[in-house]
């Protein structure tokens, strides 16, 4: 296994049957598996066939672990930070992905910049992370604010939450790309999975050097 990561299936636009047959192929290789963007309807069908699979409806992630990762005790943690309740789904896509990949996750939710004090209440916890994933829609300002408060890498995820001149996440995307805080990099709109993938890579480099 080159990467030490489970096999990943992007569920959007695939039928339950297609996902099942990909999972069967993976099973033969005795691998872990993680499928993102799986609707509740499809998940039901799939879990019937793979009773060992688990489904999380908020993140829409379906996963299943054959290998025992108990040995992977890490010290550090990834902070998954999000602005509002509407960004929860994407934040959970990041958080669950990171956990399935074996990282420790601290969830710091509902700390949008309109109420700065709530964010500052968690300052120590945020600064203590090895890497942060910041999930925010609308104006995406949370990325810059967190970036300015920490000295570790920040992966920013713009979300498509908003209306009007939000243009399906464009406002948050541009905002994060233009951040005046150093140490921010950006993934695609709503791509919680991708952010977690990056964060886990960094987490492993920092906290599990002996492992790979």
Ligand X SMILES: Nc1ncnc2c1ncn2[C@@H]1O[C@H](COP(=O)(O)O)[C@@H](O)[C@H]1O
Site residues (CB under 6 A) for ligand X, limited to 82-101: 84-85
Nearest approach, Cβ of 183 to ligand X (angstroms)? 8
**CA distances in angstroms from 155 to 134, 135, 142, 189, listed in the order given:** 6, 9, 12, 12
The single residue among 194, 196, 200, 204 that binds ligand X, judged by CB under 6 A, is: 194
Site residues for a copy of itself, 169-208, by CB under 8 A, read: 169-191, 193-195, 197-198, 201-202, 205-206
By CB under 8 A, tell whether 109 contacts a copy of itself: no
Nearest approach, Cβ of 36 to ligand X (angstroms)? 4
**Cα separation of 114 and 124, whole Å?**
20
Nearest approach, Cβ of 207 to a copy of itself (angstroms)? 9
- Between strands 131-136 and 78-82, the pairing is parallel
- Between strands 54-56 and 61-64, the pairing is antiparallel
Given a contact cutoff of 8 angstroms between Cβ atoms, the answer to whether 162 and 67 are in contact is: no
Residues lying near ligand X in the complex (CB under 6 A) are found at 8-10, 36-37, 84-85, 182, 191, 193-194
């Amino acid at each position: 296994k080159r990467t030490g990561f489970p096999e990943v299936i992007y569920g959007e636009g695939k039928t339950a049957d297609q996902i099942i047959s990909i999972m069967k192929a993976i099973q033969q290789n005795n691998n872990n598996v993680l499928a993102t963007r799986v609707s509740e309807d499809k998940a039901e069908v799939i879990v019937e066939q793979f009773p060992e699979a688990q489904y999380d409806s908020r993140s829409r992630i379906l996963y299943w672990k054959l290998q025992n990762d108990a040995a992977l005790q890490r010290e550090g943690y990834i902070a998954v930070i999000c602005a509002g309740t509407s960004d929860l789904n994407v934040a959970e896509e990041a958080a669950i992905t990171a956990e399935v990949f074996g990282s420790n996750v601290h969830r710091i939710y509902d700390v949008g910049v309109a109420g700065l004090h709530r964010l500052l209440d968690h300052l120590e916890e945020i600064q203590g992370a090895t890497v942060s994933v910041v999930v925010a829609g609308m104006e995406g300002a949370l990325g810059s604010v967190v970036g300015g408060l920490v000295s570790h890498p920040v992966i920013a995820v713009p979300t498509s939450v908003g209306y009007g001149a939000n243009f399906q996440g464009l406002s948050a995307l541009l905002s994060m790309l233009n951040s005046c805080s150093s140490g921010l990099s950006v993934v695609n709109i709503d791509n919680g999975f991708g952010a977690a993938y990056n964060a886990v890579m960094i987490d492993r480099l920092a906290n599990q050097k002996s492992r790979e």
